[in-house]
Amino acid sequence: MNDLANLPTKAPEATRDETRPPRQRKPDWIRVRAPVSKEYNETRKLMRELNLNTVCEEAACPNIGECWSKKHATVMILGDVCTRACAFCNVKTGMPRAVDPMEPENTAVAAAKMGLEHIVITSVDRDDLPDGGAGQFVKVIEALRRNTPDTTIEILTPDFRGKMRAAVEAICEAGPDVYNHNLETVPRLYPTIRPGARYYASIRLLEEVKRHNPMIFTKSGVMLGLGEERLEVHQVMDDMRCADIDFITMGQYLQPTPKHAKVEEFVTPKAFNAYGSIARAKGFLQVAASPLTRSSYHAGDDFAAMRAAREEKLAKAAKAARKQDRIDV
């Protein structure tokens, strides 16, 4: 008898999958449709023509289909290679290329062609640059003011480690409408989730923005589902309010690849609503809290709502002051 006849005809199923980590199934509330719209393809084409990067693509944002179909995009300046290696982020890590001198003008051209009322500009970390990349943010803001003066500008910057004060001063002088810098997670998780950064350094950056110009709106966000405790999130809210941060965003962390930090919990929409209610009670001018919330998700609408909330708050304060003056007289 042929000895080969006793061999199994195919490998057991288990041997194929034992080396692969099991894929986490996303709950229904976190699933989105793949982008297919004409507007999505037009936005993608424009970004390629102008040699621009977007955090929407690089960070694998789940909202890319919705945002790009509305011609909303978050431009990522200073290239597409980051000098940090945060455990949650899908952006490439390594030695970045030289800064593109045409990037500011191309960003402004894209904003004008898309007819943007509000634009969000973010960047990779550039620890290799003497100013951390602050000068490029300034040039982009100036180019936008020249080319599309009615567009409101929101920036989402890195922490400018070791260069923070000079960087913040230069950017505030350029005059963005919103300055965003994300805390990302609770302090306890920084060593594993955001090892290249320091929680209180990020808080100080946002305080520094208000010190330079109290009229610039400040914004920060955290991801939930990384293993944080409820009271830790409440403490982060308190720390933000102590720094006079105007706007908080809270969204579900999603694992980009098996090499990244795993999702410890899929936070329910009900829990996000509860966090949002607590944040509003703590005095934030604007709150965005939902599983799909990201820093720049609905940023234009949120900016308009935040500006209206500030105007209402200032009007109430002025009215109360006038009333007190009449009483004193």
pLDDT, greater one: 78 or 327: 78
Question: What fold characterizes domain 31-328?
Answer: TIM Barrel (3.20.20)
User: For residue 97, what is the DSSP state?
Assistant: P
User: For residue 27, what is the DSSP state?
Assistant: P
For residue 152, the cross-strand partners are 118
Question: Which of 151, 149, 216 lies closest to 181, judged by CA?
Answer: 216
pLDDT of residue 318 exceeding 90: no
Model pTM? 0.84
Confidence at residue 15, expressed as pLDDT on a 0 to 100 scale? 44
Question: Which of 3, 159, 136 lies closest to 78, judged by CA?
Answer: 136
The angle at the Cα of 81, spanning 76 to 259, to the nearest 5 degrees, equals 110
Strands 74-77 and 53-54: antiparallel
pLDDT of residue 77 exceeding 90: yes
Please report, for the chain, the start and end positions of each structural domain, with discontinuous segments joined by +: 31-328
CA 97 to centroid of chain Cα atoms: 23
**Can you spell out the DSSP letters for 210-245?**
HHH-TTSEEEEEEEESSS--HHHHHHHHHHHHHTT-
If DSSP codes are grouped into helix, strand and coil, which group holds residue 179? Answer: strand
pLDDT in tens, 181-210: 999 999 999 999 999 999 999 999 999 999
Stretch 234-256: mean pLDDT, rounded? 96
